Every structure is written in structure tokens, then in C-alpha cells.
Chain A
Amino acid sequence: MAPCYSAESKMRPASGAAGEMNRPSPPARDKIRQKMSDLATTAGVSASVPKISKISEVVIRFAGNSQDGIQAIGGFLARLAGRSEQEVMTFMTIPSTISGGPSIFQVRIGSGDVLSAGDEADVLMAFYQHSYESHVKAVRKGGMVIYDSDHVQPNPEWEKDYRHIPVPISSRTIEAIGGSGKDKGKNIFALGLVAKIFDLNVPKLERLISERFGGKDQSVVKNAMMAFHAGLGYSPGNLLETFQFVESKRHGATQVVMNGNEALAYGLIAAGVRFGAAYPITPWSDVMELLRRELPKYGGTFVQCEDEIASISMAIGASWAGRVAVTGSSGPGISLKQEALGWAVMAEIPLIVIDVQRGGPSTGMPTNVEQSDLNIACHGGHGDAPRVVLAPTGVEDCFYTAIEAVNIARKYNLPVVILSDQAIATRIEAFEEPDLQKVCQDITPSLDTVPDHTPYDLDTVTGVTPHLAPGTRILDGKYPVATGLEHDEMGHPTGSPRLHTEMTAKRRRKLQNLAAELPVPQVYGPPEGNILLVGWGSTQGPIREAVDRSRAAGDSVSSVHIRQINPLPPGLENIFSGFNHVYVVEMNDEGLYGYGQLGGLLRARFCDPKICGLNKTDGLTWRVREILQRVKETVAAELRKL
């Protein structure tokens, strides 16, 4: 296990054969690398007509300040990729300051599979000196650095390693738009520049720009178009090469482009959720803002509450009233909701709780990512309070996980926690448009009269008893009380040792029955081999890319991604038994005993000493290179022990 990936060129050239298009053989890569480094040395020599090279993907990093509309450029590119049937994945950082501050947006566009936002950038577009200095190292050697020559003084040392292309972005934008807007619109100028260099579809971009600014004053669209065309028409003196994407292998499927928070919110709407309540907190707030804006169209409401406890309580009230409702939060808010969550388990009330994880504990790192809420999601609160925990693996999965969560909550009458994270929340992806007519469901409660109702019936094998919405007439005149006290089958309080034992088992049995219904996770790569990487949540992309790269280098690595955290899906022991090493890759602390939160759960479940943790707590997503490095180190350390 010692492949050397560091020199790999990711601005992948396309070779002739279609099947080879996205996975060029190593020699081909070497050739191109050679070519690019030649170009680097000739940078500065002006060329009249830039040559055109075919590429299959590119990683572009925009670095500036948050008020410059960095995110907007990325959004445009992502959307364009979606419309061009290409794959796209983005990565962004937002400053935790209220307004302003350095910000980046990285976008990876490809004609083949795009699994992660990319380790290294092929192109950096730097708006300021600080953006240039902080991010030039994120570019691979031989890559392109486009900088605003009005603000950036290039470093001669770095000019040797990266092709530097000065563009007076600010002054050209001011020139193009004129008026008093100063350099506002330079992001759109930059977009034009990128469109030129990568031969992007100009009519589609124009349409996106007019859609984006169309709602505003007509002059805004006009200015944006002027800035865009100024960028498109600008000819950097030392641009020696422009690029063209090879044709995407995806055909036919219409794609939609959105981030993970949007996908969660729309998934809930599709699932039939019409009420929610929450308190604003980063990075969860987008979900509530969207639902507040959108739900009224569907006859629903979203309420901003005075605090986190009120939020979950209000959602529980609405759920009890007949229709599964949602609350959500991040970090501290999830801690505050625990008592009420336990009540919903006890009273057997369906509920959706979304946790968009951020760095913890306490206030932690609000704008960074971490997977450190798995324990509280599964075990938070006092007492034995089993609840379901699902972890979407990406933006598209957020949409479908929301629907799955609603259906589990309805079927089993219990709270379902959706563990998203900051990385998925802010990441933009293009995915195949869901068949909305098919997936949208109506979950209006039935209020048809029933002869009688036993809310906590112990005779059911599965432990599942249906929830009866208030307003339903019960002919025998016995109406149930939903309660947090231990209770008998009708909901009356009891201190009976037998009933507490049986009711505790009933609540647990529901999850055991759910577990039996879950699909066995699919192994990515061969089902047997040396190393199995286990992941959950937003790390699926980088882990799979790590598997691909390892296998390309001849190593025996596979991966499995766990979507259902509590209960765990069946069949994991069989999967684990096919490998010599099981490494659980997580963004959380390795803990006192050397494995992180999912690692701990799997150790407790399978008592398997080969389960090890690969953990990190820097608040950043896993880079593919980082995973490979850590795997290598861990294997070496284990060998030393032998």
C-alpha cells in the first residue's frame, strides 16, 4: 500500500477511447503533466491564439471576501453543470463573522463521476492579496492562478510553480458597468472569464444570469450581462491554452442543482410535512428559512420559536395533532431538545428532528464540519429512549432521506433524527430530477370514527401501535392520554414493574423490527479484500474516491457506507468478515479508546477488534489524499505491532 498520488493531474485530459475518457491511464497523465509543466516555464511569452485542450474535469477555487459574491459564481457554475448533464460538487467556507471576511468557493465540474469537491485546485481565481497568499498552495503544481492585478502583487517564487495570469478584474468591471457601482459585479466578470477559458455554454449562462437577477430591477440584469461579456471578451495576454470538456457520459436525465439543506427541505415537502418549528442556528437556519417561505404554498406553516425547547415542543404538538412535523437545529440546539425527544419516544409520537452537525462541543465551530453528534443522536437524553437515526450521504440523498424519515416516523410512531452536516448543507450538487408526481405523498390524517383505541397495545408482535389523531371520534368513549410517565396500554400512569419492563421492550422492539426491514448495505468495490473503509454521512464521496485511487494503484480496498445509524442495517458482520482490516473513517475524535463515535457503536455491536478508527477533528472535510495517507499509516502501525 504505497501508491504515490501526489503528482496526479486532476485536470484530466481525455484520451481517444470513450471508455478511457474519464480514467486516463497513468502514462497519459504523465504526458499531460509534462506538457503542462512546459507551459508553466513558458508563461509570460505571449501567444496569439491559445490552443484548445480537451479535459474531462476541472477544480476551480474562487477566493475573495464573502461580500464579493463568491458563492454566486460557484452557484452559476454548478447550475450550468447541472444543465449540461455534467457532474458537479462544490465546497465552500463561510466566515463566522457577521459580514465580510475571507471566503472561498471551490467547484469541481466533470464529465464523469464527481465524488468529492477535489483535493487540489487546477485553477485559483484570487481577488485579493490575502486570497492569493492563503490559497495558492491549494493549487497543484503547474496549475493556473488567475489574479486581480488591481489588488494582487504576485510572488516571483510562486510564479515558477504556477502559471500566473494577471487580469485587472476590478478596473475592467468598473469600466464595463460604469456608474457608481464601483467593482460590484466583478464576480460576474470573473464568471465570464471562466466561461472563456473553459469554453462554457454562453447562452445557458446568460439565461442563468437573467433568471438570477430577473426578479430585480432591469438595470441589474443589464449590468450583470455587461460584466459577464466584458469577462468573456477579455483576452489575457499570456493565456496560452483554453479548455473544452469532453462530452458527458450522462445522457437524457434532467438534473436539478441544489445544496443539501435545500434538498432536505424539499424532501420534507415531498414527504407531506406541512408544519415545522425551530430556532435559528448555523448551519441549520437555511432549512427553516426555506420551509417558512415555501410551506404556505402547500397550506402549511413554519414557526420561529422563542427557543429550541419550544421548537421541538411545538413540532410535537403538531405531530400529535395528526401530521408528522419537523424541528431541527445544529450543535447546542440538539442538546436542548433532548428531554422533549425522550418524551416523544415514551409517548410514541412521530417526529422529524434534523441535526445539521457542526463542530462541537458547546458553541464549538459553527461554520465548520464535524460528525460528532452521532452519540447524542442515538443516545441523547436520559433513560432508555430508542429512536431512529438516519444519515444522508450527499445532497441527493438528503431529499430521499427526508421522505424515508417521514415514512419511518409514521409507520413506527417514534422520532427520527436526520444527521446531516455542514459540508452537505452548503455543498451544491447536480442530481437526477426526482419524479415528483411519484414521490410526493399526502399524509393528511384520517379522522374516521373508530370503535375503540388502545394507544399502547402490548399485544402487537412488532410493538407498533398506530397513532390516532385528535378529532377522531372513539365510539366507546375512552380517549387516550399521550404521556411521558410510564403507562399502561391506555396511557394511564403506572408504577408497575411488569409494565415498565414490557413497555420498554415494546419501544425497543419497534427498532428491531425496522432493522430487519432495512436493506443490507452495498459494498463499494469487491466484497472481499484487505481493507474495508466504513463511513457515514457526507464522507461517502472522498471515501469512494480513495477506494478508486487505491484500486487503480493495485491495492485491495473497498468501502461500505452506513445510512441507517440506529438501528444499524443487517448484514454488516458478513461484510466485515470479508476483510482483514476495518477502518471507520469519521470526522470526530478518536475517543479515549481509539475509535470514534460510529467506530464505538460498531465495536459495541460486533465485538470485533479489527475495527479501528480513522478520525480527525480539524473541522474540515476529508481530502482523498488524507484518507489514503491515514490508511497507509494505520496499516504500517499495525504491521509494526505484529
Chain B
Amino acid sequence: MNSVLNPVEVMSEQTVQSPPPADLKPAAAAPAPPSMPERKPLTKKDLAADHPTWCPGCGDFSVLAIYLKLIEKRQLTHEKITTVAGIGCSSRFPYFVQANGIHYIHGRTMPLASGISLTRPDLHVFAFGGDGDAYSIGGNHLTHTARKNIKMTYVVMDNWVYGLTKKQTSPTSPVGFKSKTDIWGAVDQPINPMKQLVSAGASFVARATHTNPNHLLQMMEAALDHDGFSVIECLSECVEFYEGAFDPSNPRKGGQFNLVPADHDVTDEVAAYKLADAPFPGYFGIFYKENRPTKNKLEADIVAAARQKVAGKKDWEILQDTFNRMK
């Protein structure tokens, strides 16, 4: 078991389980509890699910491949990971991974993932989404999940365009980008995701691109090992509606892939802003990282303190004490 997946008792100290309501059980006789077969090491084949529906050449394929590689490399067992996403091309992600997943509504992945993370310390929550999901409709949630430092890993696959709805302006589309909603070229100043994430209080902020898979894997491993809210802004090209957007960051297309300078202090917020200010293609790597208590930990502390006061009491007895004061 990997260090990030501390097997913590699920949700409460209770071990007695109530049977579900009698008629919940399927009509057919329940099969005898299966014997637990030996676990074989996970392979990519075990992990792949539906064939991705993305367009050929889409950057998202490489993010998916790296995610599967990460699971395989760290041998995160199927049932210990959850893959959640909102709406968008990239948000189809959960269907392509053989693990418990959620394909949620547009923009609300962060609070959904938070609900899982806060109640199930035994699971690692991976969230995926695009620039619309993260920075536009879900912008508010990103800010608050970051400041609360809820433990999870969020990979934003940023393609600078709305692809699923066929080429409208996105919050990261550069000024002048011609789309169906900006036929004369986009006029609104785009979001600078890195600046926004750092200022919101995300405790791990990294930047990667789909054209450098090895670097992306490093970033994802670092994010997985971070005890807190870790975000990776990953450039992921839309070959259909914004072809060539990221060429200046791709050495194979004559661009430059600049790593974050070796002397960059990842705990220095101001330095992170300066990196984020560099004109495209900018830098890749960890911009900011801070060790700060997660909400998971802070809430667990509150629970532990409260439980100490009622130690040895059954739930109904705790409630009885409260009711005795209401007589």
C-alpha cells in the first residue's frame, strides 16, 4: 500500500453494520461470499476501460496514458482510487479508467470530490476537467477548494477553447482568438490559471503539457504524494478547434520547453507569480508548494476532540444525553 493511501478506518469507529432494509437485497439468492483471490500486479490492460471517444490526435490521450501509467507504477488498486470529472471533452475521463468514477455536472467537480475526500480518507480522489469546468463555470469552487486545502489531485486539461460544444471562446482563450462566439477575435482578457491558483491558496500548483509525458508523470507523482490540494494545469491541445495552440511549447514543433529554473523556491509565493507572468510558453514544473494542514486533518481533529468527550458511549447514548437536556 502506498503511503498516500493510508488505510484509515472508514468514517467512524463503528464496526457493527446494520443490514440494509430487508427488501433491498436482489431477488436472486445472494451468492456466497467469494473467496479472495490473490492480487496480481495491475497492468495497463486491467486499467483501461471504454475506448476514448476523443478526436484522433487529441492531447487528452496522452494525459490518460500517463494517468494509467501512474496507477500502474504506484500499484494503486482499482477500488482505492476514484476518478471524477465534470462536463467537457476531457471530463469524459472516468469512462476510460477501470475504477470507481463519477461523471458529474458541469463545473461542480471540486465540491463533489471534496465530499468524497472528506468522508473517505482511505480513497485517493483524482479529479479531471477542462478549462471551462475549472476556470469558468467552476471558478468559485476552485477558489474555495484551494483555500480549504482539501486533499485531492486535480488535473486541468487546458486547451484554450470549448471543444465539446464546437469552438466557442474559453476563459483561457487568448485575446484575438477567433471562435464562433468571437468571430472578430476574443476581446476579453484571459485568465492566468497559475496566478489564480496560487492566490486562491492551492497548496500544490504545477504546470505541464501533454507533449512531454515523462514530465507530466513526474508532476502527477509529486501531486499524488502531496498531502493537500494539488493542481496540475496541463496544456492539452485541441487538434480540431485550436490546432497548433501550444506549438511554441513543443520542441518537436520548433518551440521551447522551459523547466522551472532549478533555483526557484517553491515556497515563495511572489516568485511563483513571477514565473506565472512569463509570456507563453512560460515555464513547466512545480510553481508553488506549501505544507499546510488539510481540511481533512483539521476536521478529523475536531472529530477526535469531540469523540474523546463521549468515549465509550454508543451513538444512541450520546443522543440520549442531549435529549435528557431537552426535557
Whether, in the assembled complex, B192 has its beta carbon less than 8 Å from a beta carbon of chain A, the answer is no
Specify which of A270, A301, A314, A446 lies most central, judged by the most chain B CB atoms within 10 Å of its CB.
Answer: A314
Q: Are A299 and B13 touching (Cβ within 8 A)?
A: yes
Q: Are B326 and A482 touching (Cβ within 8 A)?
A: no
Q: A299-B307, A442-B315 are in contact. Are A294 and B103 (CB under 8 A)?
A: no
**Across the interface, which residues of A come within 8 angstroms of B118, CB to CB?**
275, 301, 303, 314, 318
Q: Are B103 and A466 touching (Cβ within 8 A)?
A: no
- Interface mask (A302-327 → B, CB under 8 Å = 1, otherwise 0): 01011101110111111111110100
Q: Are A410 and B24 touching (Cβ within 8 A)?
A: yes
Q: A322-B10, A466-B24, A484-B104 are in contact. Are A440 and B316 (CB under 8 A)?
A: yes
**Across the interface, which residues of B come within 8 angstroms of A316, CB to CB?**
104, 112, 115
Whether, in the assembled complex, A258 has its beta carbon less than 8 Å from a beta carbon of chain B, the answer is yes
Stretch of B14-22, B166-174, B209-217, B227-235 with 4 or more beta carbons under 8 angstroms from chain A: B14-22
**Across the interface, which residues of A come within 8 angstroms of B111, CB to CB?**
277, 305-306, 309-311, 313-314, 317
Q: Are B108 and A255 touching (Cβ within 8 A)?
A: no
Whether, in the assembled complex, A41 has its beta carbon less than 8 Å from a beta carbon of chain B, the answer is no
Q: Are B80 and A471 touching (Cβ within 8 A)?
A: yes
**Across the interface, which residues of A come within 8 angstroms of B23, CB to CB?**
411
CA distance in complex: A321, B120 (Å) = 7
Which residues A475-492 have CB closer than 8 A to chain B? 475, 477-485, 492
Whether, in the assembled complex, A300 has its beta carbon less than 8 Å from a beta carbon of chain B, the answer is yes
Q: Are B98 and A478 touching (Cβ within 8 A)?
A: yes
User: Which of B25, B315, B323 makes the CB contact (< 8 A) with A256?
Assistant: B323
Which residues A398-420 have CB closer than 8 A to chain B? 407, 410-411
Report the minimum CB–CB distance from B189 to chain A (whole Å): 24
User: Which of A258, A299, A483 makes the CB contact (< 8 A) with B102?
Assistant: A483
**Across the interface, which residues of A come within 8 angstroms of B144, CB to CB?**
305-306, 310
**Across the interface, which residues of A come within 8 angstroms of B82, CB to CB?**
470
Q: Are B319 and A444 touching (Cβ within 8 A)?
A: no
Name the CB-closest residue of A to B95.
A481
Whether, in the assembled complex, B123 has its beta carbon less than 8 Å from a beta carbon of chain A, the answer is yes
Which residues B76-116 have CB closer than 8 A to chain A? 77-80, 82, 84, 94-95, 98-105, 108, 110-116
CA distance in complex: A29, B194 (Å) = 78
- Interface mask (A180-224 → B, CB under 8 Å = 1, otherwise 0): 000000000000000000000000000000010000000000000
**Across the interface, which residues of B come within 8 angstroms of A464, CB to CB?**
24
**Across the interface, which residues of A come within 8 angstroms of B221, CB to CB?**
none
Report the minimum CB–CB distance from A233 to chain B (whole Å): 27
User: Which of B21, B46, B50, B318 makes the CB contact (< 8 A) with A477?
Assistant: B46
Report the minimum CB–CB distance from A588 to chain B (whole Å): 29
Whether, in the assembled complex, A274 has its beta carbon less than 8 Å from a beta carbon of chain B, the answer is yes
Which residues B186-234 have CB closer than 8 A to chain A? none
Report the minimum CB–CB distance from A442 to chain B (whole Å): 5
User: Which of A320, A407, A473, A480 makes the CB contact (< 8 A) with B116?
Assistant: A320
Q: Are A460 and B100 touching (Cβ within 8 A)?
A: no
Report the minimum CB–CB distance from B318 to chain A (whole Å): 5
Report the minimum CB–CB distance from A517 to chain B (whole Å): 9
Report the minimum CB–CB distance from A303 to chain B (whole Å): 7
Report the minimum CB–CB distance from A289 to chain B (whole Å): 14
Which residues B38-87 have CB closer than 8 A to chain A? 46, 49-50, 77-80, 82, 84
Q: Are A444 and B12 touching (Cβ within 8 A)?
A: yes
Report the minimum CB–CB distance from A178 to chain B (whole Å): 31
Q: Are B105 and A484 touching (Cβ within 8 A)?
A: yes
Q: Are B11 and A277 touching (Cβ within 8 A)?
A: no
- Interface mask (A145-156 → B, CB under 8 Å = 1, otherwise 0): 000000000000
Q: Are B120 and A470 touching (Cβ within 8 A)?
A: yes
CA distance in complex: A407, B319 (Å) = 19
Q: Are B115 and A318 touching (Cβ within 8 A)?
A: yes
Q: Are A321 and B108 touching (Cβ within 8 A)?
A: no
Q: A270-B319, A277-B111 are in contact. Are A444 and B17 (CB under 8 A)?
A: yes
Name the CB-closest residue of B to A299.
B12
**Across the interface, which residues of B come within 8 angstroms of A475, CB to CB?**
34, 37
Stretch of B177-185, B253-261, B298-306 with 4 or more beta carbons under 8 angstroms from chain A: B298-306
Q: Are B10 and A343 touching (Cβ within 8 A)?
A: no
**Across the interface, which residues of B come within 8 angstroms of A443, CB to CB?**
18
CA distance in complex: A434, B325 (Å) = 14
Report the minimum CB–CB distance from A189 to chain B (whole Å): 25
Q: Are A480 and B100 touching (Cβ within 8 A)?
A: yes
Report the minimum CB–CB distance from A515 to chain B (whole Å): 15
Whether, in the assembled complex, A269 has its beta carbon less than 8 Å from a beta carbon of chain B, the answer is yes
Q: A306-B141, A407-B21 are in contact. Are A474 and B79 (CB under 8 A)?
A: yes
Report the minimum CB–CB distance from A74 to chain B (whole Å): 15
Q: Are A466 and B115 touching (Cβ within 8 A)?
A: no
Whether, in the assembled complex, A450 has its beta carbon less than 8 Å from a beta carbon of chain B, the answer is yes
**Across the interface, which residues of A come within 8 angstroms of B305, CB to CB?**
296
**Across the interface, which residues of B come within 8 angstroms of A306, CB to CB?**
111, 140-141, 143-144
Whether, in the assembled complex, B27 has its beta carbon less than 8 Å from a beta carbon of chain A, the answer is yes
Whether, in the assembled complex, A518 has its beta carbon less than 8 Å from a beta carbon of chain B, the answer is no
**Across the interface, which residues of B come within 8 angstroms of A411, CB to CB?**
20-21, 23-24
**Across the interface, which residues of A come within 8 angstroms of B267, CB to CB?**
none
CA distance in complex: A266, B113 (Å) = 27
**Across the interface, which residues of B come within 8 angstroms of A472, CB to CB?**
79
**Across the interface, which residues of B come within 8 angstroms of A272, CB to CB?**
18
Which residues B288-312 have CB closer than 8 A to chain A? 299, 302-303, 305-307, 309-310
- Interface mask (A441-476 → B, CB under 8 Å = 1, otherwise 0): 111111111110000000011001010001111110
**Across the interface, which residues of B come within 8 angstroms of A311, CB to CB?**
111
CA distance in complex: A322, B26 (Å) = 18
**Across the interface, which residues of B come within 8 angstroms of A593, CB to CB?**
none
User: Which of A211, A274, A479, A483 makes the CB contact (< 8 A) with B78?
Assistant: A479
Whether, in the assembled complex, B119 has its beta carbon less than 8 Å from a beta carbon of chain A, the answer is yes
Name the CB-closest residue of A to B307.
A299
Report the minimum CB–CB distance from A255 to chain B (whole Å): 7
Whether, in the assembled complex, B327 has its beta carbon less than 8 Å from a beta carbon of chain A, the answer is yes
CA distance in complex: A434, B299 (Å) = 30
Report the minimum CB–CB distance from A16 to chain B (whole Å): 32
Whether, in the assembled complex, A339 has its beta carbon less than 8 Å from a beta carbon of chain B, the answer is yes
Whether, in the assembled complex, B165 has its beta carbon less than 8 Å from a beta carbon of chain A, the answer is no
Whether, in the assembled complex, A637 has its beta carbon less than 8 Å from a beta carbon of chain B, the answer is no
CA distance in complex: A431, B287 (Å) = 60
**Across the interface, which residues of B come within 8 angstroms of A321, CB to CB?**
115-116, 119-120, 123
Whether, in the assembled complex, A616 has its beta carbon less than 8 Å from a beta carbon of chain B, the answer is no
**Across the interface, which residues of B come within 8 angstroms of A442, CB to CB?**
14, 16-18, 315
**Across the interface, which residues of B come within 8 angstroms of A471, CB to CB?**
10, 79-80, 100, 120, 122-123
Whether, in the assembled complex, B279 has its beta carbon less than 8 Å from a beta carbon of chain A, the answer is no
Q: Are A275 and B78 touching (Cβ within 8 A)?
A: no
Which residues B129-143 have CB closer than 8 A to chain A? 140-141, 143
**Across the interface, which residues of B come within 8 angstroms of A340, CB to CB?**
105, 108
CA distance in complex: A477, B25 (Å) = 22
- Interface mask (A281-301 → B, CB under 8 Å = 1, otherwise 0): 000000000000010111111
Whether, in the assembled complex, A361 has its beta carbon less than 8 Å from a beta carbon of chain B, the answer is no
CA distance in complex: A340, B25 (Å) = 27
CA distance in complex: A20, B24 (Å) = 49
Q: A83-B327, A461-B27, A473-B79 are in contact. Are A339 and B303 (CB under 8 A)?
A: no
Which residues A32-50 have CB closer than 8 A to chain B? none
Q: Are A343 and B104 touching (Cβ within 8 A)?
A: yes
CA distance in complex: A68, B101 (Å) = 54
User: Which of A300, A319, A450 makes the CB contact (< 8 A) with B34?
Assistant: A450
User: Which of B15, B37, B115, B307 makes the CB contact (< 8 A) with A277?
Assistant: B115
Q: Are A448 and B33 touching (Cβ within 8 A)?
A: yes
Name the CB-closest residue of B to A441.
B18
Q: A317-B112, A442-B17 are in contact. Are A300 and B303 (CB under 8 A)?
A: yes
Q: What are 12 A-B interface contacts by the 8 Å CB criterion?
A: A83-B327, A254-B327, A266-B323, A297-B318, A310-B141, A315-B115, A340-B105, A436-B319, A444-B10, A471-B10, A477-B78, A480-B101
Task: With A314-B112, A445-B10, A483-B103 given, name 10 new contacts (CB 8 A).
Answer: A255-B327, A296-B305, A300-B11, A301-B302, A310-B140, A310-B141, A322-B10, A323-B119, A479-B98, A479-B101
